Structure 1
């Protein structure tokens, strides 16, 4: 497994059996994939490791479109992500999220470009300190409930 795979494996805490899950059974609550990505990629070395790993796997132009401030994010095919990440890491992620592999890969293909783009606002992978702040801001902006008027507030 690659350095990135080692980082992810250690962050996920190992296999489903090591986490006390029954093989083939999803965790009690499936993980929110975009939120999990932000949390995972906010860890030291994870975002830079992912970018380097995907570059080495032949997805450099695609990943650069996510990091860069120019043009839109290029899409990534779920099968390309599967090949780039490798079956062992994909299985670990599927076990962690409680999603079937196909659903996980589709979710990753949908959300990974947006998450990497949001975590690289200056067109480059930021330092860990900045990355933590960026990740928290991204989580708040995408997943915080919209402000609701207090009971009794009248907007008129």
Structure 2
């Protein structure tokens, strides 16, 4: 069992301002639902976090529909932006063929030392400069998130560089001995949960 749902739940709770009581659904599902509801003002398709997650997931599914943009008051707060990039990060891992492919891609990008610190259970997570991951992510998807969140693209890359080490760490609780099939299954489960709230 990986810790992916735990890390997403922690990020979602932070986005809610640390409210510990999980809404009616309970667990990660309830928390994610309330983040999506709160940030998007209840309209989970247009604007807000719901719109962002929808466009990210839509982009990953290849159904790049024209996303209507609801007017928003200001950009997302930093914590909500972290939650908004989680599907982007998970989708990127999937697009690399799963956890193993993503780790290879990161190591190939000169991030071997950092990746080892994320995978190793007995090391702290070494941070990664946003510039080093810019070439790895689809520019169009990042710009779409930035546009909908009403923040500069640099902030989205910054959020990705914060979330990526946490996600890799949470997917590899047994270090190199982690079951990659199980990790990839957990990624799919979280993406399914998020897309369930956007239907």
Same-fold status (TM-score > 0.5) = yes
> How many Å separate the matches in 2 of 1:14 and 1:65?
33
**Structure with the greater alpha carbon radius of gyration:** 1
Q: Is the 8 A contact 2:143 2:153 kept in 1?
A: yes
CA RMSD in angstroms, aligned pairs only: 3.9
> How many Å separate the matches in 2 of 1:51 and 1:93?
20
Structure number with higher helix proportion: 2
Structure 1 segments (4+ residues) deviating >4 Å: 8-11, 25-31, 41-44, 133-137
Which residue number in structure 1 is paired with residue 157 of structure 2?
A: 105
Unmatched 5+ stretches in structure 2: 1-55, 191-199
> How many Å separate the matches in 2 of 1:54 and 1:41?
11
> How many Å separate the matches in 1 of 2:165 and 2:101?
15
> How many Å separate the matches in 1 of 2:71 and 2:112?
33
Cα deviation digits, residues 88-131 of structure 1 (max 9, x gap): x1332332573442111110111111111011101035332354
TM-score, structure 1 normalization: 0.59
TM-superposed CA distance for 1:21, in Å, is 2.8
Q: Is the 8 A contact 1:34 1:115 kept in 2?
A: no
Q: Is the 8 A contact 2:93 2:102 kept in 1?
A: no
Unmatched 5+ stretches in structure 1: 1-7, 138-156
> How many Å separate the matches in 2 of 1:27 and 1:56?
40
Distance change in 2, residues 1:93/1:50 (3 Å): farther
Which residue number in structure 2 is paired with residue 117 of structure 1?
A: 169
TM-score, structure 2 normalization: 0.48
